[in-house]
Structures are given as C-alpha cells and as structure tokens.
Amino acid sequence: MTQHIQNTPQFFLTAPAPCPYLEDKVERKVFTHLTGSKASEINDLLTQGGFRRSQNIAYRPVCENCQACVSVRIITDEFKMNRSMKRIWQNNSDLVGTVNGPASNSDQYSLFHEYLEARHRDGGMSGMSVQDYTMMVEDTHVNTKVIEYRRRGPDSFITGKGEGELIAVALTDVLSDGLSMVYSFYKPELSSRSLGTYMILDHLQRARQYGLPHVYLGYWVNGSHKMEYKIRFRPQEQLGPRGWQRVE
C-alpha cells in the first residue's frame, strides 16, 4: 500500500502569495512529491507537462487571470549559436565542466552564497544555510547531476577535469528526452564572461552528445526582464494550451 501511494502522485495547491517576477501579481502553484521507485519516470512526465523540480517536489504555476509563465525547451539538434554566443563560447574555452552525482561541498556553498549576495540579496533563497543548500542538491529521488566548472589545468586533457577555483555550478536533471537545468550559479565578479549563457550552451553540447533532443530552461516569464535571456535560444518550443509549439 505504501509503495502504491509513493508511485501514484497526489497533487496539492499552495495558498496565494506575491509573485516573485511580476509586481502586483499573485501566484499559486500546484505541486506533488517526487518519491518512490517511479520518481524519475514521474519527473520526466511532469517536466514534459510544464512542471519544474525543487528538491523532491515538482510544481507548476496555476495563477488566476495570468499566464505569463511559459515553459521553454530548446531544440538541441537544430540550435545554432549566433555571433554573440560564439564569442561567449570562445571566451570560456578555458573552462571544463566536471559531472558529479548530487553531492554538495563547501566550495559550492561558498560560491552559491556569494552569488546570492551579489545578484539576489532580497530573494527568497538569500537566507539559505549550509544545510538548506545541501538539501537543495542532495534531496532528490531522480537522476540528478552537479556540474562544476573550473579552469583547465595541465592534466585536464588526461583527466577530463578542470582545476583550481570553482567558477560556476549547474544542478541538472537527466530526463529521457533532455537535460533540465534546475538551478545554476556562478562567480558574480566574472559577469563579463556571461557564464549563465555559457552553461546553457554547454548543456546543449552535452545533450547532443547524449543523443537527447531538448534542453529545458524552466519558465520564461513574459514581462520579466531577468527572464528575457531564455527566448534568445532558438529554435525552441514553448508549452501552451495546444501543447509544445515551435518558436523560430
């Protein structure tokens, strides 16, 4: 009976709360717990249906009178870098991403805290402790990876790993049809490198190598300046009332 309950998701609705993206808007979310032996399979289906994952919870907005949040995924095989993206890719050619399991460490948390202090001091994650961060990374029942980006070293060609200071981190789910970028952060003083864009480009390359057709970017929020970067990656598909629709 317990196993049946774990493998059959039950959905719940949050109370109204201020929208973190649009002023004078109220958000509500529907969510379920991702536990049990079918967690990865359920996460696949829910992500394809517009949900996002946070720890062992999958959620999506169900706001009244607002449909600004749109799920976005890049079509891996057809994507081509524009001139600006090629420059960003070249400027970060000294970095190597090392793929690890869902394990946190002190280097990650220090960078995470530095990033939040510089970029999202007033956000809901700003007060996260070491334990909170550990839970964000490790409290998962799905196929999750942590990619650590460091500068290339003399032995990187042999080991496949970067060396030295941690520059950026991506928490990524591996799905049956793509890579889902759950959360990423980077050294804020290296903003000239456009590391957020670089990590998306790196995920596109990895998805091609894995034979996966999509990279999921989460929600593009129409009207939110800080979410505008997501629609620069085309061709992409956006989830609407008629399903995933291609956008050139």
46 backbone dihedrals φ, ψ, rounded to 5°: -70, -40
| pLDDT reported for residue 162 | 87
Largest CA distance in the chain: 56
The pLDDT confidence band at residue 7, using thresholds 50, 70 and 90, is low
0.95 cut: is pTM over it?
no
| pLDDT reported for residue 119 | 83
Q: Where are the domains of the chain?
A: 73-218
Task: Compute the mean pLDDT over every residue in the chain, rounded to the nearest whole number.
Answer: 93
- What is the CATH class of 73-218? alpha beta
pLDDT at 238 over 90: yes
pLDDT at 3 over 50: no
Whether the CB-CB separation of 137 and 102 falls below 8 Å is answered with yes
Q: What is the mean pLDDT of residues 228-245?
A: 96
Q: How far apart are the C-alpha atoms of 43 and 55, rounded to whole Å?
A: 11
Tens of pLDDT, residue by residue over 91-130, are 999 999 999 999 999 999 999 999 999 987 776 676 899 9
| pLDDT reported for residue 123 | 65
Q: How many helices (H) and strands (E) does the chain have?
A: 7, 14
Q: Based on the number of CB atoms within 10 Å of its own CB, is 82 exposed (0-12), middle (13-18) or buried (19 or more)? A: exposed
Any idea what DSSP says for residue 16? P
Tell me which residue of 197, 199, 137 sits closest to 168, measured CA to CA: 199
Q: How far apart are the C-alpha atoms of 46 and 52, rounded to whole Å?
A: 8
Tens of pLDDT, residue by residue over 48-102, are 999 999 999 999 999 998 999 999 999 999 999 999 999 999 999 999 999 999 9
Tokens 């291609």 belong to which residue? 246
3-state secondary structure 150-189: EECCCCHHHHCCCEEEEEEEEEEEECCCEEEEEEEEECHH
pLDDT at 2 over 60: no
β-sheet bridge partners, residue 214: 75, 178
| pLDDT reported for residue 120 | 75
Spatial CB neighbours of 131, under 8 Å, sequence gap ≥ 6? none
Tens of pLDDT, residue by residue over 15-44, are 999 998 999 999 999 999 999 999 999 999
